[in-house]
Structures are given as C-alpha cells and as structure tokens.
Homo-oligomer: A and B are copies of this chain.
Amino acid sequence: MSVLVVGSVALDSVETPYGKIDDALGGSATFFSAAASQFTDVNVVAVVGDDFPHEQLDFLKNRKVNFDGLIKKPGKTFRWGGKYHLDMNHRETLFTHLNVFEDFDPELPDHYKETPYLFLANIQPELQLKVLQQMKRPQLVILDTMNFWIEGTPDALRKVLKHVNILIINDSEAKELSGETNIFTGAKKIQEMGPKILVIKKGEHGAVMIDNGEYFFAPAYPVKDLKDPTGAGDTFAGGFVGYLAKSAYVCQKNLRRAIIYGSTLASFCCEKFSLNRLEEINKDDIEKRYLEFLEMMKVE
C-alpha cells in the first residue's frame, strides 16, 4: 500500500547543546517521508517558496517519494527556529514564519486521490479536511495534531476526527483533548470522537496504544548520542504508518510492530541534526535496531 502525507516542508534553524544549524531541511511531511519511504511509496502534498533548495529532496526522490503534490509558490519557504537546553524533552520555539504556508490550499494531483493510506500531519484541521475531501475512500486515515489546534480550532478538529481511524497524539495533548487527567479514561472520550485506535506518545517514556480496551506499552529506545530531537514525532509517525502500509493489514500484531518500527526510526532521527541520520540509514540498520529494541522488552 502507498501512503499520502499532507504536512509541511520547511527550513529549520535549530540549536541544541551539541550544535547549531540554519535553514536546514525540516518539516513534518519531510521527516515523515524519510521514515515511511523505508517501507513503502509516499506521495507528498505540501508547499514551498521559490527559495527552496530542491536538491535536498533528492535522496527522498531516490527512495520513490513522489513530490508531484509539492506546490512551488512565489515567496519564502516556511521557516521554524527552536532551541533545546540540556533537558531535551522541552524545547523553546524561537520563531515560526509561515510564509508561503500561510495561504496553502492543498490540491491533490489526480493520481494521488486513490492512495489507500492517508497521513494528516500536524497542520491546520481545515487543511486536513480539504485533503480528506479530495480523497477517494482512503482505507486508513491517521492523524497527528497538537495543543495549538485543540485550543484554537476545536470545531474543525472535531470534524476531521470523525474520519480518523488512528490518532497519534502526545500525553498532554490527549489530556487536553479529552478534558481528563488520566489518559486511559481520556482515551474513551477521544474514541467517541472518531478514532478507534490511539497511539499516545510519552517522550522518553515511550508510547501506549489503546485499541478498544486493549493496551500495548512500548518503551522509547535509549538513544546514546542524542543530538537533535526535531522531527522525532513525525519520524515516529512515518515509521509507524509506513510499516502498517507495507504489512497492508491492520491488526494488533502489525500495529504493535509498527509502533516499534516508528520508535526505531525516531531514535535514528535524534542522532544527527535535520534529516542527516535518516538519509544515511538503510534497511539493515533499521532491522538490527528493531530486533535490539524487541530484546529490551522481552519476557520469556
């Protein structure tokens, strides 16, 4: 199965205790594609300005990521700047310049419309809806969102959620969306909004998947050389959705494996700035770490 992703392609300026980059490749659709393309074909819907260095996407094109849906508009590309301190669980946003993203009006190329799996990255719910409406009966819809939309555009978000099968969200966002302090109680309320399967990310504490009454707990991979966590969430989603799309069948067994693949890809993402580590790794690297990961959870 192939996957369509709508999200951002951006230029990031990031500072961590281990270094600094300016105007490096970033954006949710980019990190997602770099991970998902290890498993399946990816169609990207996004927008960039006329200053965008397209050659930086070459390694993704070589992995059969299709950029026919990447619109080029006059103006500047979306830029984000952030800073991480020693505790890299928290970051400081230094600036967000939406630029050409501000009036992004996603229009899907015809050959994108029958893509079976759809990932709606963390962007305005109105844009997520616009993409949904252009799709011809996607088999599986996965959504990422954040506090900004939960608070700012709750009605539009609720509309999108009705069409979503799997929601990827972090623990504080799950609490905010449900209005509950306990994520397990909150999960029931969110499931009533649409998505039957929740993947709740807990940063360094891993993730929990809630599918009806069934729970699955996964740790986070203990990254030794943490350099820059930017994009780890989108990379997790890319590994998760990519593996699910490859396995082509949504069941607990595949969902659980998908979470470990997602965490595996996210762990690589953090080892270098921007997409530098995601560009390097191959299927063998991923498989080796995936198996190492399982070993850390195994009880005989």
Contacts and interface: CB of A to CB of B under 8 A. Distances in A.
B256 A296 contact: no
Interface of A: 86-87, 181, 184, 202, 205-206, 208, 215-217, 219, 222, 224, 253, 256-257, 260, 294, 296-300
A6 B217 CA distance: 34
Contact of A256 (B205, B294, B298): B298
A205 B205 CA distance: 6
Contact of A205 (B202, B224, B294, B300): B202
Contacts of A206: 205, 217, 219
22 contacts: A86-B181, A87-B181, A184-B222, A184-B224, A202-B205, A205-B205, A205-B206, A206-B217, A206-B219, A215-B222, A215-B296, A216-B296, A216-B297, A217-B296, A217-B297, A219-B219, A256-B298, A256-B299, A257-B299, A257-B300, A297-B297, A297-B299
A208 B205 CA distance: 10
Contacts of A296: 215-217
Contacts of A222: 184, 215
A216 B294 CA distance: 10
